[in-house]
Amino acid sequence: MTKPMRILIANRGEIALRITRACGLMGLETIGVYSEADAGLAHLACVDTKVCIGPASAAQSYLDQERILRAARLCSADMVHPGYGFLSENAAFAEAVEQAGLIFIGPSAQVMRLMGDKISAKQEMVAAGVPCLPGSDGALPENMPDTQRICDAIGYPLIVKASAGGGGRGMRIVETSKDVANAVSNARQESHLAFGKQDVYAERFLKSPRHIEIQIAADHHGNAVWLGGRDCSVQRRHQKLVEEAPPAGIPAHDLATLGAQCAKACQQIGYVGVGTFEFLYEDGQFCFIEMNTRLQVEHPVTEMTSGIDIVREQIAVALGHPLSFTQADIKCAGHAIECRINAENPDTFLPHPGKITQWWPAGGPGVRMDSHIYESYVVPPYYDSLIAKLIVHGNTREDAIERMRAALDETHIGGISTTIPLQQRVLQADAFLDGTVTVHSLDQGLMK
């Protein structure tokens, strides 16, 4: 009898439980790692082996590459799944996993580096015919007069962005020509402090864009497909709160054309695994922002509309199997919405860790709750505040909105503050109901 493959899950929380469930369906053995603060995580009751990898600090546990690799060797792992966040887009970690003779569940380190640098990623997308914003051809030069001329040619307003990282760091909006020098200097400094690199580039700033994503999957055999589009425009401080699929009000033909371009780009750069192309959308035009070379937090809305288990497919592809479907097989149906429930004050967004005294998740037809929490679980203060993802599916967008409203009302989490009250307001807001939410709507107070 062939020994089952063993997957080390280098993550925590709901995504660790999600991966554990997918492995169980595939007959794969699982290894769960955890910090000293996470001994009570739900997925640890389901894995075949568990091992503590260090103190509560993420830097000494989930971000410590050597500790994770040591655990993989100790437990005879064959593969490593990074989930999202932490080391999921760290090319050096992917390389270290491969050098250790293990399979990294994700793209190669080379491709990860290529797409992790926003300048090189944009250059690849231009070459592949993927629509991009007008901007600088590469990093802005150190010589300020040359930088000034480039920015003047792009036009204002524009945005200066760090080539590395994300989360809004190393970004500055430039309204007029006289603001260029100060904005570039500040963006360089912030980028250096946050990411260790000070390369920045400039591109046209869109005042009222939507955030649109294309989910892709590609294998080692040259096959690449897109699984549908998502709208992730409900954001605060560049962090998503509500996502839906498909995007409302965008012609299906336009989305299909974009999806085909993304699949072709994957073939061109040799991408293998699942990933997401992110775009800004304004006045009927798509503009590439970046590619996430990992599993996305919001992948469930695509699973609900496409009927495809994205995590299972991701693991199968890493094992060398071809995709189990072709583009013609993908028939997205209905509408799905996801609310990211965070342990935060819904007005100030300050984290609110603590003991959960009540846990009553929503249920019923078309309702899915991805969460690792339970009554008496203590939300630790050391990590991201995401504690649950509530996903619903309906025949139409209106059905999905109605179902999500009911599901939010039904969900009760006691002992801590959560973002549920804010999401309840969002689902009543005119801008959300008519599909005109932009990435700035929530920060500008348009949905409160």
| CA distances for 300 relative to 244, 271, 305, 369, angstroms | 10, 22, 9, 10
Chain centroid offset of residue 250 CA: 22
Residue 142 CB neighbours (<10 A): 10
The DSSP code for 42 is G
Let me know the angle formed at the C-alpha of 139 by 136 and 141, rounded to the nearest 5 degrees: 95
Active site residues: 294
Q: Beta strand 79-81 with 210-218: parallel, antiparallel or unpaired? A: unpaired
Residue burial 50-69, b: 16+ Cβ < 10 Å; e: rest: bbebbeeebeebbbbeebbb
Let me know the angle formed at the C-alpha of 352 by 347 and 353, rounded to the nearest 5 degrees: 165
| CA distances for 245 relative to 234, 274, 334, 395, 446, angstroms | 13, 17, 9, 12, 22
Contact yes or no for 58/382 (Cβ under 8 A): yes
Q: 234, 355, 360, 230: which is closest to 300 by C-alpha?
A: 230
Residue type, 363: G
